[in-house]
Amino acid sequence: MPRFLKEFFDRNGLGIGSLMLGLVLFWTIGLIILPQLSMLDFSFRPNLPPPEIGGPKDVYTMENYKYLVFGPEGGSQDYNAVDLKVFYRTLVAAIFVTIFNLILCYPIAYYLAQTKGNHIRIFALMLIIPYWINEILRAFALRIIFGETGVLNNLLVAAGIFDTPFDFVRNDIALYAGLGYAYILLMIFPIYNVIESLDRNQIEAARDMGASWPMIHRRVVIPYAKPGISSGCTMVFMLSAGALAAPQILGGPSSLWFTQLIYQQFNDNSDWPQGAAYAVVLLVTCILLVLALMRVFKVNMGDIGK
């Protein structure tokens, strides 16, 4: 038995220890790994009617993956331009949302972490309470705000800033706002957590030596907050790229999110293998992208958990 397991059982006793271990294993293996493996398996199989499953035609194939790149066999185009473009745009937009979120949340997190007093609790509560409302309602609320006859347009037109209402939905502004808003807390809290443990004297020391505020952030606060920033960015990026409700409700009519394509394959086309292949591609690409960026910014895996 490895040492950490032995220690675990020594500490918790055999009964409780086995129960806890069993639950954790059931959670990771039963509820996460196995279903994902079956999705992976799906993605390499043809879409067959139920009687033919397990029959001679049920063989492993790259067909579903080829479809994403090249489109239907004998199709008019060399590449599946539509789906690839959606895929690419989803990733770029998710990165954009992540950056936007970081720029928005870093100052908030810094302020929350470095200010003392009761009003900070109220501020934090005001950030949390909107999340009691479910995602769909929040998305529709944003529609009310950003719609052509929405609150924002009424205000802007009344104030004379715009002559005619601006279509925030068609221009994807509503979508980005919705996605940004949806994961604000996931960005704020990891950063807040790290900055809160930063000794205020370090900031004052830098200031005392003549550093400007941008310099203090660049050399003292941000390097210190890096683990929090990376874990926040990772979560926001993964969840934005995988979001469904916000794009569905707030996306313009012509802009599809890649998750919507996956959803269509599963639901509208009843093509589970095709949907699974798309989902696998999205997942793997996101993970690779995150790992690559972690390497660029010299972040360790262990830091993400902070």
Partner 1 sequence: MSAGVGVDLENLWIRFGDFVAVRDANVHIKGGDFFSFLGPSGCGKTTILRAVSGFLDPSEGQVLIGGNDMKGIGPNKRPTALIFQNLALFPLMKVWENITFSMEIKGASAKERRKRADELLDMIALPGQGDKLPSELSGGQRQRVAIARALCAEPDVLLLDEPLSALDLKLRQHMRTELREIQQRVGITFIYITHDQGEALTMSDNIAVMRAGVIDQIGDGKTIYNDPSTAFAASFVGENNVFRGTVKQVQGDKALIATNRSGDLLARISTANQGKMKAGDDAMMFIRPEAFALAPAGTQGDHFVTATVTNEEFEGNSFNIFMEGEGGKEMKVSLPNLGQSFDSHKGQPMTLQYDVQNAVALPAGDLATE
The residue among 84 and 198 lying less far from partner 1, judged by its C-beta, is 198
Q: Which range, of 45-53, 186-194, 205-213, 260-268, touches partner 1 by CB under 8 A?
A: 205-213
Asked whether position 197 contacts partner 1 by CB under 8 A, the answer is no
Asked whether position 201 contacts partner 1 by CB under 8 A, the answer is yes
Q: Rounded CA gap, 99 and 6, in Å?
A: 44
Q: Which range, of 37-45, 183-191, 198-206, 271-279, touches partner 1 by CB under 8 A?
A: 198-206
The residue among 72 and 223 lying less far from partner 1, judged by its C-beta, is 223
Task: Return the residue of 199, 267, 269, 292 that touches partner 1, per CB under 8 A.
Answer: 199
Q: Which range, of 51-59, 117-125, 182-190, 207-215, touches partner 1 by CB under 8 A?
A: 207-215
Asked whether position 210 contacts partner 1 by CB under 8 A, the answer is yes
For partner 1 (CB under 8 A), the number of binding residues is: 17
Task: Return the residue of 1, 209, 296, 301 that touches partner 1, per CB under 8 A.
Answer: 209
The residue among 7 and 204 lying less far from partner 1, judged by its C-beta, is 204
Asked whether position 58 contacts partner 1 by CB under 8 A, the answer is no
Place of tokens 């060399």: 78
The DSSP output letter for 13 is: -
Exposure string over 168-192, b if 16+ CB within 10 A, otherwise e: bbeebbbbbbbbbbbbbbbbbbbbb
Question: Minimum distance between the CB of residue 201 and partner 1, rounded to whole angstroms?
Answer: 4
The residue among 142 and 195 lying less far from partner 1, judged by its C-beta, is 195
Question: Minimum distance between the CB of residue 218 and partner 1, rounded to whole angstroms?
Answer: 11
Tokens for 53, please give them. Answer: 């499953």
Asked whether position 72 contacts partner 1 by CB under 8 A, the answer is no
Q: Rounded CA gap, 124 and 110, in Å?
A: 12
Place of tokens 């005392």: 208
Contacts (Cβ under 8 Å, ≥6 apart) of 253: 170
Q: Rounded CA gap, 112 and 192, in Å?
A: 7
Contact 259, 49 (CB under 8 A): no
Q: Rounded CA gap, 145 and 28, in Å?
A: 40
CA distances to 17, 83, 97, 246 from 104, rounded to whole Å, are 43, 31, 10, 19
Question: Minimum distance between the CB of residue 304 and partner 1, rounded to whole angstroms?
Answer: 17
Contact 286, 293 (CB under 8 A): no
Question: Minimum distance between the CB of residue 162 and partner 1, rounded to whole angstroms?
Answer: 41
Asked whether position 96 contacts partner 1 by CB under 8 A, the answer is no
The residue among 112 and 203 lying less far from partner 1, judged by its C-beta, is 203
CA 46, distance to chain mean position in Å, is 30
Minimal CA–CA distance to 91: which of 305, 272, 289?
289
- What part of residues 218-277 is at the interface with partner 1 (CB under 8 A)? 219-220, 223-224
Question: Minimum distance between the CB of residue 222 and partner 1, rounded to whole angstroms?
Answer: 10
Phi and psi, residue 133, nearest 5°? -85, 140
CA distances to 59, 67, 181, 195 from 74, rounded to whole Å, are 22, 11, 43, 57
The residue among 61 and 114 lying less far from partner 1, judged by its C-beta, is 114
Question: Minimum distance between the CB of residue 214 and partner 1, rounded to whole angstroms?
Answer: 11
Task: Return the residue of 174, 191, 194, 206 that touches partner 1, per CB under 8 A.
Answer: 206
> Contact residues for partner 1 (CB under 8 A)?
199, 201-202, 204-212, 215, 219-220, 223-224
